[in-house]
Amino acid sequence: MTLSKRFSATSADPIPTSPSSPFRPHSPDSTRPDSLVVVSFYKFADFPDHADLRKPLKQLCQDLVLLISSFSIVAVLHPLSFCGIILAPEGINGSICGTRESVERVLSFIQSDDRLKGLRRIESPVSAEQEAIHHGHSSSSPLAAGEDAPFRWDHVRVKLKKEIVTLGMPDVSPIEKVGKYVSPKDWNALISDPDTVVIDVRNNYETRIGMFKGAVDPCTTAFREFPSWVGDQFQPDDADVEHAKVREGSDESINKDAESPKQKMPKRVAMYCTGGIRCEKASSFMLSKGFDEVYHLKGGILKYLEEIPKTESLWEGECFVFDKRVAVEHGLVQGNFKLCYGCKQPVSDADMEAPEWEYGVSCPYCYLTKSEEEKERARARQRQFEAWGVIGGPDKGRRPAAKADSIKTDQTNDSASG
């Protein structure tokens, strides 16, 4: 049976909307069935027919995005609040927020393909306060809390890409070889060993707000820069002597390079990232380059912060996450950083006091990189949001009522004149 037939045979069941429905408006009871949960997941797999999954998966997610409203629009309900999923020949990667039942339905549907069984998943709880903001109960808006909402609601994206995490090296496959997983409880001992070089595989805007104690920061702006950094940083043992040789008649630049040989390959490398997916590819890459002992943190920083008490932790700062929570601390509670909507980088209270800060437009990290034209466009978007609660105005994505009425009137006139 082909993948397309297997998935097309399954569709979302109708979601009850009667008073007996388990999906009810927000209440302070955290055990209720409509409590929100965030799950990040991925799986590397041989998945050449990945495109066949896109349509049925997206349809299921859209069916689970539900809006219930009375005539006065006082109740908002989203069994599935947002869904962002990437499908590629090497597997699946995604993040989903919704009620427990809706999230599990999506994950079960994905794992109905044997190749995607055993998804690596990390779950983050959503506080009652975040849920209240998310559902709009603390906002004057009857629909949602806009930019204050910790998660973007009514948002479904299922994309096809070449890689589920972009390294730009299709020959690197975690399916064939990958580093050794280290549980959070064993992580401290590994990175405290002086023979272990600890590497943060994330980008500079992530490392800026938090890292493990003693870790090396490659200062990359994108994951695809990691291979080049490794090549610049480390020299294979059997090439050290050759690297130091200077041929007769070589120029000054070669002599200068010989005077500053690259660092020898470390005995042991331990890597970490947000949820573990980048480390799988990075460890596979490093093994292919001759590194012998390559380890990575199972479940990433998020799993570590969930399981390791702050009193025993070697983590310093906050962990950037790719949703409107911006950052989390130990116990996966929401952190103190906000987001610059001009560049999507985390900003602190001090950053927002800087002269380069303009809400919705720029921050100290992007101010100099933006032209005045770009800043003015950002100001226009911000004015739209403040006026209508959505960028593009209240009629974005639908025919404005005035135009619809006009069309109806024109049709009536045409009929009368005919």
**3-state percent breakdown (helix, strand, coil) of the chain, nearest 5:** 35, 20, 45
* Helix (H/G/I), strand (E/B), else coil: 276: coil
The enclosing H or E element of 61 equals: helix 51-64
Type of residue at 44: F
CB 289, CB 299: distance < 8 Å: no
H or E stretch covering 327: strand 327-328
Tokens 């800026």 correspond to 208
- Partner residues linked to 80 by β-bridges: 98
- List strand residue ranges (DSSP E) for 196-280, in order: 196-200, 210-212, 234-235, 263-264, 268-272
DSSP-H helix ranges across 96-159: 100-110, 128-134
Choice among 97, 273, 279, 366 that is catalytic: 273
- Residue 319 designated active-site: no
Rounded CA gap, 230 and 289, in Å? Answer: 9
**What pairing do the DSSP bridges indicate for beta strands 80-88 and 91-99?**
antiparallel
Which tokens in the block code for residue 125?
A: 């709880």
Confirm if 212 and 319 have CB atoms less than 8 A apart. no
Nearest-angstrom CA–CA distance, 279 and 195: 20
Scan for tokens 């055993």, then name that residue.
Answer: 118
DSSP string spanning 145-178? -GGG-SS--SEEEEEE-S-SS--S-TT--TTT--
The b-or-e profile of 145-184 (16+ CB within 10 A means b, else e) is bbbebbbebeebebeeeebbbebeeeebbbeeebbebbeb
Q: What CA–CA distance (Å, rounded) separates 336 from 319?
A: 11
Could you tell me the sign of the dihedral formed by the alpha carbons of 62, 68, 74, 75, in that order?
A: negative
DSSP character for 143?
Answer: S
List active site positions.
273
